Amino acid sequence: MISNELKSQIQGAYSRFLEAKSLKPRYGQRLMIAEVAKVLGDIAVDDEGRRSGEPAVVAVEAGTGTGKTVAYSLASIPAAKAAGKRLVIATATVALQEQIVFKDLPDLMRNSGLNFSFALAKGRGRYLCLSKLDVLLQEGHAQTATAQLFEEEGFRIEVDEASQKLFTSMIEKLAGNKWDGDRDSWPQALEDQDWSRLTTDHSQCTGRHCPNFGQCTFYKAREGMGKVDVIVTNHDMVLADLALGGGAVLPDPRDTIYVFDEGHHLPDKAIGHFAHYTRLRSTADWLEQTAKNLAKLLAQNPLPGDLGKFIEQVPELAREIKAQQQFMFSACEQVAEFRPGEDMEGRERPRYRFIGGVVPEHMREMGIELKKGFSRLTDLFTRLTELLKEGMDAEVSIGIPSHQAEEWYPLFGSLQTRAQSNWELWTAFTAEDPEDSPPMARWLTLAESGALFDIEVNASPILAAEMLRRNLWSVAHGALVTSATLTALGKFDRFRMRAGLPKLAVTAVVP
């Protein structure tokens, strides 16, 4: 049972909030506060403060106008603080995220008497990479031959007059503390093609080895996150963190109470995180280009030790996999009977579904060979990135200067990411589905590739239930899912099935 102290704190905060804003209590809002508080405020813990009982999950459907944000915040913030846990509020849309951070939570702090801190958590891709901006502002003449080899991987360095003006404006605003490096706070909308040249991901970021680490806009934004009571983010970031084992970019799930607003999106978002695809022709072209690039790199830089040994192995392996890709392309053409002249302007691209997710045995065997090849390629690139990371330390010699290791790291990081995504696709495409759960959906799609056509191979879970059950509900300290549309015909059965809610999860519909 919820403690009298916590109950009194929540009731007092609600009363003060209503009085300060001259509002009358809403029945639905009061009911939602009570339902959330009963579950999240009464979680049994062990001697270390970790949940010791069944998963503490509550799902509440509350109609538009209920005041959901106020209701769940008033109940969950005191509950999380009383338990010594962090609260993560995740939304499906940027609009709601910003409303919560810039309007709802400040309003609640001013008027409820609750004392808490909060921060907005965005992915690395929303922030400027200073190292990339530095390179682009060198106007191309200082660009290294190495990076020129990897333009295919997104390292395009030509800067036209308009881009030069934009990039110069950015560095000036950063220097004058008039911009924080967040894409969303730049005064004008930024084109994706411009922004993609300015940001990075975890595979390319050198972290503390970067000369701009002290001024890094992403890490500066993250500094405050470790100290706040409430973190506001999106469903995608929570799912990405869970896919990494939890606690990688957000707090440890065992020390976290989650609130999923717009929660009806959660099952589909989760499926998207565990879906995989590859395009056969474009991947074959990438493998050939990678083989050529690294052969040129070796010609320009005779490399001793493990660095040279690992790079030397890539071209031959890449061409072996390319040949396997071409065999798979022919097999897909035959089974799907795609024709190059098929209409690509229609609403849906031509698609071939494997019935029951069952792939013909000869294609499965080919896929297993591709899985093995990409596993070896991923392993090589992983070893290279680990070696380059070591080489960024001036005291460690890997055969190239530390500044060159720093330059090469993002290039090989991007190669490792692409190789791994292909390995994940072929792993899912060839996996044997368990008899006691729905099969993996597997299909082929006809796609455009310049003047030619390509075949896209896809594999995706049908339901995200097991992933959410295993990685979220069973490990989180507690969780709330809320939305205006969680039920079907007044029942939670369909959402329970799709989201994998625990058997003892509490459900409620409030008016």
| pLDDT above 60 for 342 | no
Lowest mean pLDDT among 12-16, 79-83, 209-213, 413-417: 209-213
Helix intervals (H) in 100-214: 105-112, 130-136, 145-149, 161-175, 192-195
Q: What is the mean pLDDT of residues 152-159?
A: 58
CA distances in angstroms from 106 to 30, 85, 112, 505, listed in the order given: 21, 20, 10, 31
3-state secondary structure of 242: helix
pLDDT in tens, 380-389: 999 999 999 8
Q: Average pLDDT, stretch 460-489?
A: 96
**Whole-number Å distance between alpha carbons of 183 and 284:** 34
Domain segments of the chain as ranges:
4-113+228-272+465-510, 124-210, 277-460
Whole-prediction pTM:
0.86
For 156, the token pair is: 């395009």
CATH number, domain 4-113+228-272+465-510: 3.40.50.300
Quickly state the pLDDT bin for 332 (edges 50, 70, 90). very high
Structure confidence by residue, pLDDT tens digits, 66-105: 999 999 999 999 999 999 999 999 999 888 998 999 999 9
Q: How deeply is 399 buried, as exposed, middle or buried, from its count of CB atoms within 10 A (0-12, 13-18, 19+)? A: middle
Torsion sign over Cα 178, 95, 480, 111: positive
Q: DSSP class of residue 353?
A: E
Q: For residue 156, what pLDDT is reported?
A: 56
The pLDDT assigned to 8 comes to: 97
Mean pLDDT, residues 393-399 taken together: 78
Q: What CA–CA distance (Å, rounded) separates 490 from 365?
A: 47
- Describe the crossing of helices 280-300 and 305-336 by its angle, rounded to 10 degrees: 160
CA-to-CA distance for 511 and 507, rounded, in angstroms? 14
- pLDDT tens figures, 100-145: 999 999 999 999 999 999 999 998 999 999 988 987 887 544 455 5
**Phi, psi of 364, rounded to the nearest 5 degrees:** -65, -40
Average pLDDT over residues 451-475: 93
Q: What is the pLDDT of residue 17?
A: 98
Q: What is the mean pLDDT of residues 430-449?
A: 90
Q: 3-class SS at 510?
A: strand
- Beta-strand pair 441-449/351-353: antiparallel
pLDDT digits (tens, 9 = 90+) for 180-215: 999 989 999 999 988 988 999 888 898 888 889 999
Provide the 8-state DSSP code for 182.
B
In this predicted structure, the answer to whether residue 326 has a pLDDT above a threshold of 70 is: yes
Q: What pLDDT does residue 339 have?
A: 60
**CA 150 to the chain's CA centroid:** 25
pLDDT at 151 over 90: no
| Mean pLDDT, residues 214-235 taken together | 91
- Start-to-end CA distance of the chain, whole Å, equals 25
Q: What is the mean pLDDT of the chain?
A: 91
Please tell me what DSSP assigns to residue 186.
S
Using the predicted structure, report yes or no on whether residue 492 has a pLDDT greater than 90: yes
Amino acid at 425: L
| Local confidence band at 244 (pLDDT 50, 70, 90 cut-offs) | confident
